[in-house]
Structure 1
Amino acid sequence: MTDFPSEQPAEAAQTKDTVRQRIFMVVLVATMGALAFGYDTGIISGSLPFMSTAPSQGGLGLTSFTEGLVTSALIFGAAIGSFLSGFFSDRFGRRMTLRSLALLFVAGALGTAVAPTVPAMVAMRFVLGIAVGGGSSTVPVFIAEIAGPKRRAPLVSRNELMIVSGQLLAYVVSTIMSYTLHDPHVWRYMLALAMVPGILLFFGTFFVPASPHWLVSEGRFAEALRVLKKFRDTPREVRKEMTEMRKQERLARQGPSVRALLQERWVIRLLLTGCGLGFVAQFTGVNAFMYYTPIILKTTGMGTNAAIAATIGNGIVSVIAVLVGIWAVSRFSRRRMLMTGLAVVILAQVALGLTLTLLPQNLTQSYLALACILVFLFFMQMCVAPVYWLLMSELFPMKIRGALAGIAVSFQWICNAIVAFAFPLTLSLIGNQTFFVFVLLNIGSFVFVYFLLPETRGKSLEEIENMMRSKYGEV
């Protein structure tokens, strides 16, 4: 067997530039789902104070209970959406799944913007959550399968970059609107803008290809080959990846059924690991800060508008942290990054708890509390969040990758919902001791990562699958 002819340097450079541009466009379209995810989860932080005013003043009259209900409705919807979209994407493909989710993004955003009552708001936030959750499990898998082994880590990490960019956009929009629009219904305008990334995602899916891995799993080898030729730098890469995918497809076809595969020891172990990572990511308490920072800062005496404006700091720090994380994830092991992030998260939570518990309520306490939150977010978004989404695209076998990623991400959303719903209630019951509860949970997460997380850096998706089957298979 002979290799493909070598390319001339100029032609190779031109080809690589073209490939990078094509991949960039696919990632840009796919991550419109992540941008919508970030905006929808971030905008609630700025809109809640206005929604909490009395109906006669343009709000919905929210209490601490209904605040948690409205916030967590999206997240419970996301748990359902990520679970269902995993099976949907394995059956109909990642691209078609994203196109369907885009319609839900638009419908949900419009529904929340015009919701007349709390029950209507909860229902429409749930619909919007289905789209958010579906995108959260589908986008990383789609990018990983399009990107290839060389580019997978930084490109999948761009999903997290778009999530935090969407949150930053939400914080900026809510701050600008809160200061400039003296309208009691300003929160409705904030929520309506969430339709924009959904519209962009819908039309963008008509200009991106189907996943080559999904095409191979469907037996559409010629189509998969055409896609690979457009998105790989050299014929050798195309041949190697196509050979690996064909081999995995044969093993999957000759092996157990999907139902039987879901009962195999190594698959169950991977699924439990994926669910455990969802616990790790969410019980850091990150979304207690992303959703409720204004409420936390108002307990220190900071005004409503100033507290909303302070969330811009959350967004800026998160974006910078993810940019650093994209650089780091190609250079350091997944395990090292997670353990480093969790160690600093623990220290930041301890510092925040002590600041809010021991210091008097004044401007110094406000700024120190914000500083603790920003340090927490920097290491969370640099080390924990990008690695979590990357692992969700890597850990699971090709035949049921969408389904298992959907189940694992669904569990992550359930953990998110528990935090979002319980945080304001817990804060009202035990006060600032809440942050020490997070410390204990994060120590447990550190132990889990240290002892149970496998390392996937530097391996193709097929190599990871073979490693997991060998390591965790029947003994």
Structure 2
Amino acid sequence: MYRLSNIYVLAAFGTIGGALFGFDISSMSAWIGTHQYLDYFNHPDSNLQGGITASMSAGSFAGALAAGFISDHVGRRMSLIIACVIWIIGAVLQCSAQNVTHLVAGRVVSGLSVGITSSQVCVYLAELAPARIRGRIVGIQQWAIEWGILIMYLISYGCQEGIQTPAAFRIAWGVQAVPAVILLAALPFFPESPRWLAAKERYEESLDTLALLHGNGDRNDPVVQAEWDEVQEAVRIAHESKDVSFLALFGPNIWKRTLCGVSVQVWQQLLGGNVAMYYVVYIFQMAGMGSASLYSAIIQYVIFLVTTGIILPYIDRMGRRFLLLSGSITCMILHFAIAGTMATYGHAVDSIDGNANLTWKIGGAPGKAVISLSYIFVGIYGFTWAPAGWIYSSEVFPLKYRAKGVGLSAAGNWIFNFALAYFVAPAFTNIQWKTYIIFGVFCTVMNFHVYFLYPETSGRSLEEIDAMFDSNIKAWQSHKFEARFEEQIEKHRRESVVEKAGDSSHAEVV
């Protein structure tokens, strides 16, 4: 059967799994302030709305935990096929929702799919991509999430304006099934991960896939042979290990990687970015935008999309540590600035535009300042933690632990996504501007964690990253770690030249 071999084409289709996450974010954020949604679901209060929003994250947490077992058993590609089917079922349930319970059930089912795709698309692309461009390839997943957010929001906006009945949100939620159908149709043409194939002792298929992806089908290409050596060594070590359970991820030789992988996903949530995506309409309504908050939200989503798109071609040159540290420091400053502006110039109210969930308002020039700071925050998030968090967690685990490790990391993302999605709606009601102080403190703590415990992984093969962790080099000195991959490529080039020279000499003798 024909197999796609261009890594960018594979990433473009594969990261549709990320778009599913984006679709689900704005499928809720676009509707929480509209009369079609509020009237049909009887104006849910802040606690109930937090539960509805967070229900998708609850499903994603369960899906991410199961993803590693599914992916290790049936393969990376088949796990994505399963996720597509689950997503389509979830979209149907949401589209046909008759009450809050029905809607929550649909969001939980969709979340199961997002939990699988959010972890295993990263694993799959990281195992397919060459080291020199792995960051941008895996980072395309985050860009796909942002495309999903924007596209779903625009679809929802169009439905809001053109349809005044519950059919408005039903159409939007039904359209969510379309990208899953596209990905489901494309996946049979994807190659399986060469590292998974080797782990299953399907060595010929593994080498053929590496040759297809990195050597134009030539098994003897020096780059292919160098990477094949590292894959074989990783598989040998993996086979000598015991079967992996989640407890094994906290063993003496792996716990540091698990801490890095899980914590980077948790910190990505505690930075406050995805929460801003869920409740962007609330933020702009508090800043006095009123009906224009929908337009303002679209601008924010475009900024998010553009900044991530700009950084992706350069992300492998800049280093993971630089992006993570610069992002957390800048976002810390922005959170404290927004909190200070709202506290100084805002005031308590009973409701905003009839929405009793919002009890703090800031208007005029200070309100515009809050909006500007929110735009800057989203731009910084798009440049840094949004792509870098997913990339980093996909890189730090060795082959034997990778699927379950990244699954556990994504589960950390989703359980905090659930907690924060539930927390923020009542937080805006009860503690107003102090919500931003909490996120500012989180950013302060993560600065120290990243600096002292996150080694640099950019530009190294997955096997070289294993060796770096095993060397126990200090995180802030990890850029000095000597890579071995280029030496192996050069070794295979020399061997290839010698072999060809020997063939020529033999021919002359004959």
TM (normalized to structure 2)? 0.85
Offset, 1:263: 4.8
Does the CA-based 8 Å contact 2:53-2:422 persist in structure 1? Answer: yes
* Distance of 2:368 and 2:435 partners within structure 1: 19
Matched letter for residue 347 of structure 1: I
1:316 aligns with 2:298: no
Structure 2 residue aligned with 1:395: 396
Offset, 1:255: 3.1
* Distance of 2:321 and 2:397 partners within structure 1: 17
* Distance of 1:233 and 1:359 partners within structure 2: 61
Structure 2 residue aligned with 1:334: 320
Relative to structure 1, is the Cα distance of residues 196 and 363 closer, same or farther in structure 2, using a 3 angstrom cutoff? farther
Structure 2 residue aligned with 1:373: 374
Indicate which of 13, 17, 39 corresponds to 1:33.
17
Structure 2 residue aligned with 1:448: 449
1:208-287 map, 5 Å: 208-233=190-215, 235-259=221-245, 261-287=248-274
Q: Report SS of the residue matched to 1:49.
A: coil
Indicate which of 90, 99, 110 corresponds to 2:72.
90
Offset, 1:51: 7.1
Measured against aligned partners, the alpha-carbon deviations of 1:243-278 in whole angstroms (never above 9, x if no partner) come to: 111111111112333248535213122112222112
Offset, 1:363: 4.2
Measured against aligned partners, the alpha-carbon deviations of 1:17-53 in whole angstroms (never above 9, x if no partner) come to: xx99722221122111111111111221112223785
Matched letter for residue 39 of structure 1: F
Indicate which of 284, 289, 295 corresponds to 1:302.
289
Larger Rg: 2
Structure 2 residue aligned with 1:194: 176
Does the CA-based 8 Å contact 2:133-2:459 persist in structure 1? Answer: no
Structure 1 residue aligned with 2:420: 419
The alignment covers a number of residue pairs equal to: 452
Does the CA-based 8 Å contact 1:51-1:187 persist in structure 2? Answer: no
* Distance of 2:92 and 2:35 partners within structure 1: 16
Measured against aligned partners, the alpha-carbon deviations of 1:352-394 in whole angstroms (never above 9, x if no partner) come to: 1122222253243443222111111111111112111111211
1:106 aligns with 2:107: no
Relative to structure 1, is the Cα distance of residues 60 and 106 closer, same or farther in structure 2, using a 3 angstrom cutoff? farther
Q: More displaced, 396-405 or 367-376?
A: 367-376
Measured against aligned partners, the alpha-carbon deviations of 1:426-463 in whole angstroms (never above 9, x if no partner) come to: 12111111101111111001111011111111210011
Relative to structure 1, is the Cα distance of residues 212 and 365 closer, same or farther in structure 2, using a 3 angstrom cutoff? same
Relative to structure 1, is the Cα distance of residues 163 and 246 closer, same or farther in structure 2, using a 3 angstrom cutoff? same
Q: Which runs of 5+ in 2 are unaligned?
A: 347-361, 474-510
Q: More displaced, 129-138 or 27-36?
A: 27-36
Matched letter for residue 440 of structure 1: V
* Distance of 2:398 and 2:8 partners within structure 1: 26
Does the CA-based 8 Å contact 1:90-1:401 persist in structure 2? Answer: no
Q: Report SS of the residue matched to 1:48.
A: coil
Q: For the aligned residues, what is the CA RMSD?
A: 2.0
* Distance of 1:428 and 1:363 partners within structure 2: 21
Structure 2 residue aligned with 1:5: none
* Distance of 1:108 and 1:363 partners within structure 2: 42
Does the CA-based 8 Å contact 2:326-2:384 persist in structure 1? Answer: yes
Matched letter for residue 294 of structure 2: I
Relative to structure 1, is the Cα distance of residues 28 and 379 closer, same or farther in structure 2, using a 3 angstrom cutoff? same
Q: Report SS of the residue matched to 1:258.
A: coil
Offset, 1:282: 0.4
* Distance of 2:243 and 2:4 partners within structure 1: 37
Measured against aligned partners, the alpha-carbon deviations of 1:124-172 in whole angstroms (never above 9, x if no partner) come to: 1111111111100000111111112122111111111101111111222
Same amino acid, percent of matched pairs: 27
* Distance of 1:358 and 1:185 partners within structure 2: 42
Structure 2 residue aligned with 1:356: 342
* Distance of 1:39 and 1:166 partners within structure 2: 5
Q: Report SS of the residue matched to 2:432.
A: helix
Matched letter for residue 245 of structure 1: V
Offset, 1:227: 0.9
Q: Report SS of the residue matched to 2:472.
A: helix
Matched letter for residue 391 of structure 2: L
Q: More displaced, 409-418 or 185-194?
A: 185-194
Matched letter for residue 262 of structure 1: L
Relative to structure 1, is the Cα distance of residues 188 and 442 closer, same or farther in structure 2, using a 3 angstrom cutoff? same
* Distance of 1:422 and 1:414 partners within structure 2: 12
Does the CA-based 8 Å contact 2:4-2:190 persist in structure 1? Answer: no
Offset, 1:404: 0.7
Matched letter for residue 167 of structure 1: I
TM (normalized to structure 1)? 0.91
Relative to structure 1, is the Cα distance of residues 20 and 107 closer, same or farther in structure 2, using a 3 angstrom cutoff? closer
Structure 2 residue aligned with 1:71: 53
* Distance of 1:77 and 1:256 partners within structure 2: 30
Matched letter for residue 36 of structure 1: L
Structure 1 segments of 4+ aligned residues over 4 angstroms from their partners: 51-54
Matched letter for residue 278 of structure 2: Y
Relative to structure 1, is the Cα distance of residues 96 and 242 closer, same or farther in structure 2, using a 3 angstrom cutoff? same
Does the CA-based 8 Å contact 1:175-1:309 persist in structure 2? Answer: no
1:156 aligns with 2:157: no
Structure 1 residue aligned with 2:497: none
1:23 aligns with 2:7: yes
Matched letter for residue 426 of structure 1: A
Matched letter for residue 85 of structure 1: A
Q: More displaced, 268-277 or 103-112?
A: 268-277
Q: Report SS of the residue matched to 1:272.
A: helix
Does the CA-based 8 Å contact 1:78-1:129 persist in structure 2? Answer: yes
